[in-house]
Amino acid sequence: MGLPVRAETDSGSWPARPSSGGLLPVMGLAALGLALLGLWGETPPSQWIMALFAPDATDPRQMAFHHALLPRIVIAPIAGAILGLAGVILQQVLRNPLADPTTLGVSAGAHSALVAATLFAPALLDFGRDAVALCGGAVALACVFAAAGGRRFSPLAVILAGLLVSLFLGAGASALVVLNHDYLTELFIWQSGSLLQSGWANSAKLAIVLMAGGAAAALMARVLSVLDIQDGGAKSLGVPLAAVQSGALFVALLLSTTVVASLGVLGFIGLAAPALARRAGARTFGERLTYASLFGAATLSLTDQIVQILPLAQEIPTGVATAVIGAALLLGMSGRTSAAAVEQQPSHRSNGHGGRRRPVVLVCVLGVALAVVLGAIFIGRDQSGWRWSSLQELSELWLWRAPRAAASFAAGSMLGMAGVLMQRLTGNPMAAPEILGISAGASIGLIVLLLVAPTVDAGSTVFAASLGAALALAGVLLSGMRSSFASQRLVLTGVSVATLCSGLTALAMASGDPRLGDMVSWMAGSTHRVTPSGAALALTLAALLLPVAALTARWLDILPLGTVVATTLGLSLGRSRLSILLVAATATASATLIAGPLTFIGLMAPHLGRLLGFRRVVPQLVATALIGGGLMLLADWIARVLIFPWQLPTGIVATLLAGPFALGLLRRAYRWSAP
């Protein structure tokens, strides 16, 4: 049996535009011109030949030219060509124009494997960083296929699975880096995708990999070209699909993970290069191989040269810049994917008991939430081990534990409520504040506030974050209107917005602006700085938003029935959708200020409430608020006690707890039945 694929011709999604062919020489010449200007500014041209072949060890400029500047210029097009080659192979094998090492989780898997091996099994690195990265990338890709589910599935489901795997693995790697910052300082810099070089070793290795990968791709090109037709047609021609696909995937994995092992994560080059190749008129697979490699080389070279001349306090890692560019491209492509890619829609499945209230279960949920609250306040660790704090001890610890517990519970409750609102508004079980880009939009709003406002207080931060969240959600919904809110396309657009906002956030953080210093701990979801007044404000917002959200119950019951039915019943679509949007945005922004931009609690809690039988709007809102609050409080307690006396960021722990649930939910929602 071959790997799961769906027929998806290139012409169905990105029509070739030969008029764009002149872009390649322009990009190449621009990159070359900037590189030569950079060399000229560091070393006189009269010394270039000597610095290249026989640098004077007493001249620091010649040594820098030979060992740092020139290797960086050379390795950029080599790495870009490798990633472009890997991207076009992955897209051909999966027949998916959105596939690349980043969107499929391969880069995140390779990076996480290297981080884990560096800490826990450094002996594995004796076999080579490339081998460790290859194993990590292969495991991540296997998880993506398992999460997407079934033998046939939509390409968008594969991409969503890849992005969820990337977020989950990224959270795990971030936790390891935070815990071992002193040991992983170099790795922390490298993981952002840096082309800084200290010799020619990486350039030589990647050049060999490029030649070998190009030769392998050329040998498979004729066979892989047959995959442009349906599976049945390929089999009728005697094409061994399983062997061809497995071999091509191995080549793509080897190419992409070697780049990660050498340079870090350079996101989305494998997505941009094949897309540019199509627009340049490359129609056959052989043409796309050639053009994608050239465009990958030009794109990465030009990006790297641009980041070196930006007037910032410190140089932005090249990988951060490519992530921003690629996320914007992914956002554009998500709206142009052919209709065949979104024909299978996930849907809510309800049983015959969905409309009944479950007071007994609700009381049990309330009891569990109360038990979690008491446990988080009374149970802790000290030098002697685990202990239940007495009332006298608690009087001394109250100001440390109670605000943090209250803020965490409030944040989880608001994320749960926002998740219910979004899933019912869109009719999409995968809709959540984190996945639809709302949390990432809140982070952008907060960054803008910190950069433009002379003073910042609690009210202004909530307003700015809410505005950013509302704008992000509005953008996703406006994009979704063009496809009648098709579930998969809406979710992919949201993930694209979230990725773009996260890239912009990373770009702002990499600028070195001192006004963004407090953003580091907040982005990881740290609650240790919550004050009693901040906790009281969070609880107040959660308490106010719950009845406000309940007032939208009638709208949420009617909107999923469709525009015609809602209009017939006299519902004002614009006013109702805007009201729900504002409530969800305010809840998400307030929670994001406490727990950080990514937790998956807003995706997990509504489904747990539904599994417990709460299917009507108001009971589900109440139950989900309790479940979300309990989950976030549990994550905060684990973050506080797991590695005492050190602490983990709450947001990272919540992501690690809820991430596997999100992948399992994706598999259930997008599973295709076997023919």
Three-class SS string for 440-491? HHHHHHHHHHHHHCCCCCHHHHHHHHHHHHHHHHHHHHHHHHCCCCCHHHHH
Tell me: do 387 and 241 sit in the same domain. Answer: no
Q: Tell me how many helices (H) and strands (E) the chain has.
A: 27, 2
pLDDT digits (tens, 9 = 90+) for 41-84: 888 888 888 888 888 888 888 898 999 999 999 999 999 999 99
**What is the rounded distance in angstroms from the CA atom of residue 270 to the CA atom of residue 91?**
9
Q: Which residue has the higher pLDDT, 6 or 642?
A: 642
Long-range contacts at 306-310 (CB < 8 A, ≥ 24 apart): 306/34, 308/34, 308/38, 309/34, 309/38
**What is the rounded distance in angstroms from the CA atom of residue 460 to the CA atom of residue 166?**
33
pLDDT value for 517: 62
Tell me how far the alpha carbon of residue 231 is from its chain's centroid.
Answer: 31
464 inside domain: yes
Residue 341 reports pLDDT greater than 60? no
142 inside domain: yes
- Torsion on CA atoms 485, 486, 489, 494, rounded to nearest 10: 40
78 inside domain: no
pLDDT value for 598: 67
Tell me: do 413 and 501 sit in the same domain. Answer: yes
Tell me: do 303 and 390 sit in the same domain. Answer: no
pLDDT digits (tens, 9 = 90+) for 98-111: 788 888 888 888 88
pLDDT range class, residue 613, cuts 50, 70, 90: confident
Residue 201 reports pLDDT greater than 80? yes
Phi/psi class of residue 166: alpha, beta or left (left: φ > 0; alpha: ψ in -120 to 50)?
Answer: alpha
pLDDT value for 2: 46
pLDDT value for 13: 42
Q: Which residue has the higher pLDDT, 232 or 227?
A: 227
pLDDT value for 400: 79
Q: Are 397 and 369 in contact (CB under 8 A)?
A: no
The total number of structural domains in the chain stands at: 2
pLDDT value for 9: 41
Tell me: do 184 and 307 sit in the same domain. Answer: yes
State the burial class of residue 459 (Cβ atoms within 10 Å of its Cβ: 0-12, 13-18, 19+): exposed
The three-point CA angle 447-167-418 to 5° equals: 65
Tell me: do 404 and 304 sit in the same domain. Answer: no
**What is the rounded distance in angstroms from the CA atom of residue 292 to the CA atom of residue 339?**
25
**What is the rounded distance in angstroms from the CA atom of residue 147 to the CA atom of residue 404?**
34
pLDDT digits (tens, 9 = 90+) for 513-531: 666 666 666 666 667 778 8
pLDDT range class, residue 296, cuts 50, 70, 90: very high
Amino acid at 564: V
Q: Taking the model in full, what pTM does it have? A: 0.77
Tell me: do 120 and 248 sit in the same domain. Answer: yes
**What is the rounded distance in angstroms from the CA atom of residue 160 to the CA atom of residue 99?**
10
pLDDT value for 298: 93
Q: Which three-class secondary structure string do you get for 333-390?
A: HHCCCCHHHHCCCCCCCCCCCCCCCCHHHHHHHHHHHHHHHHHHHHEEEECCEEEECC
Tell me: do 296 and 183 sit in the same domain. Answer: yes
619 inside domain: yes
Amino acid at 125: L
Lowest mean pLDDT among 201-205, 598-602, 614-618: 598-602
Domain hosting 323: range is 10-59+83-311+318-330
pLDDT value for 10: 41
- In the numeric block, which tokens belong to residue 36? 């030569």
Instruction: Look at the block and give the residue holding tokens 């969240």.
Output: 469
pLDDT value for 73: 93
Residue 6 reports pLDDT greater than 50? no
Amino acid at 10: D
pLDDT value for 574: 75
356 inside domain: no
Q: Are 582 and 601 in contact (CB under 8 A)?
A: no
354 inside domain: no
Handedness of CA 93, 99, 103, 108 (dihedral sign): positive
Tell me: do 322 and 235 sit in the same domain. Answer: yes
Of the candidates 471, 512, 515, 478, the residue with the CA atom closest to the CA atom of residue 493: 478
CATH at residue 439: 1.10.3470.10
User: How confident is the prediction for the chain on average, in pLDDT?
Assistant: 78
**C-alpha gyration radius of the chain:** 26
Tell me: do 172 and 255 sit in the same domain. Answer: yes
pLDDT value for 316: 77
Residue 668 reports pLDDT greater than 50? yes
Residue 156 reports pLDDT greater than 70? no
- CA distance from start to end of the chain: 13
Residue 566 reports pLDDT greater than 90? no
Residue 271 reports pLDDT greater than 80? yes
Tell me: do 234 and 168 sit in the same domain. Answer: yes
543 inside domain: yes
Residues with Cβ < 8 Å from 310, sequence gap 6 or more? 316
Tell me: do 300 and 369 sit in the same domain. Answer: no
Residue 617 reports pLDDT greater than 70? yes
72 inside domain: no
pLDDT range class, residue 625, cuts 50, 70, 90: very high
Tell me: do 423 and 291 sit in the same domain. Answer: no
Of the candidates 239, 213, 215, 214, the residue with the CA atom closest to the CA atom of residue 225: 239
